[in-house]
Amino acid sequence: MRRIFLDANVIFTAAHNPVGKAALLIDLAARLSWQIITSRLAEEEARRNLENKYLQSLPRLATILSVMDIIPGGEGLKCPLDLPAKDRPIFEAALLSGSTHLLTGDLKHFGPHMNRPEKTSGIVVQTVADFFRDLTEKPQAGG
């Protein structure tokens, strides 16, 4: 089963753009039995940003959060990646939750770690677009 950890920016995007890829991901998760996870820290950041920019999206945020597993999260002290202090708890929470994927739009900080599960403790760090690309690509038949 896919266990997909969402960073705050993905949750924010899903809440304010209900027809975008991030919202589609959450809708598909229920149908395909994927587990969607986030941390309390990411939830709070998404909520704070929506309150500042898209107040009308808060009801959609509540709906999204109701189908997610929200974990307390890490403190960033055991993060094996070279990340800024503010991002370390996000990766650590994904790691602690046993996530198979960490989806984020933060290319500046997570970009060097994307699509390198051998370097990220087995977690596939991706954008939502990369996740869908990998999902739709069919493996080549041998021969």
Domain ranges, residue 109: 3-136
Task: Flag whether 105 is in a domain.
Answer: yes
Residue range 32-58: mean pLDDT, rounded: 97
Given a cut of 80, is residue 131 above it in pLDDT? yes
Residue range 23-29: mean pLDDT, rounded: 96
Q: Could you identify the residue written with the tokens 């869908």?
A: 132
Domain count, the chain: 1
* pLDDT one-digit tens code per residue, 47-93: 999 999 999 999 999 999 999 999 997 776 677 787 888 999 999 99
Where does residue 65 rank: exposed (0-12), middle (13-18), buried (19+ CB within 10 A)?
A: middle
Task: Flag whether 119 is in a domain.
Answer: yes
Where does residue 116 rank: exposed (0-12), middle (13-18), buried (19+ CB within 10 A)?
A: exposed
Q: pLDDT value at position 63?
A: 97
Task: Flag whether 117 is in a domain.
Answer: yes
Residues 6+ positions from 69 with CB-CB distance below 8 Å: 35, 36, 37, 38, 97
Integer Cα distance of 39 and 121 in angstroms: 18
| Mean pLDDT over each residue of the chain, to the nearest integer | 92
Task: Flag whether 142 is in a domain.
Answer: no
- Percent of the chain at pLDDT > 70 equals 94
Task: Flag whether 143 is in a domain.
Answer: no
Q: Say which CATH number the domain at 36 has.
A: 3.40.50.1010
Task: Flag whether 141 is in a domain.
Answer: no
Q: Which residue has the higher pLDDT, 141 or 136?
A: 136
Q: pLDDT value at position 76?
A: 63
Q: Which residue has the higher pLDDT, 75 or 119?
A: 119
Side by side, the strands of the sheet bearing 35-39 are: 69-71, 35-39, 3-6, 101-103, 124-126
Where does residue 108 rank: exposed (0-12), middle (13-18), buried (19+ CB within 10 A)?
A: exposed
H or E stretch at 100: none
The model scores a pTM over 0.85: yes
Task: Flag whether 121 is in a domain.
Answer: yes
Q: How confident is the model at residue 139 (pLDDT cuts 50, 70, 90)?
A: low
Given a cut of 70, is residue 142 above it in pLDDT? no
Task: Flag whether 98 is in a domain.
Answer: yes
DSSP-derived 3-state class of residue 39: strand
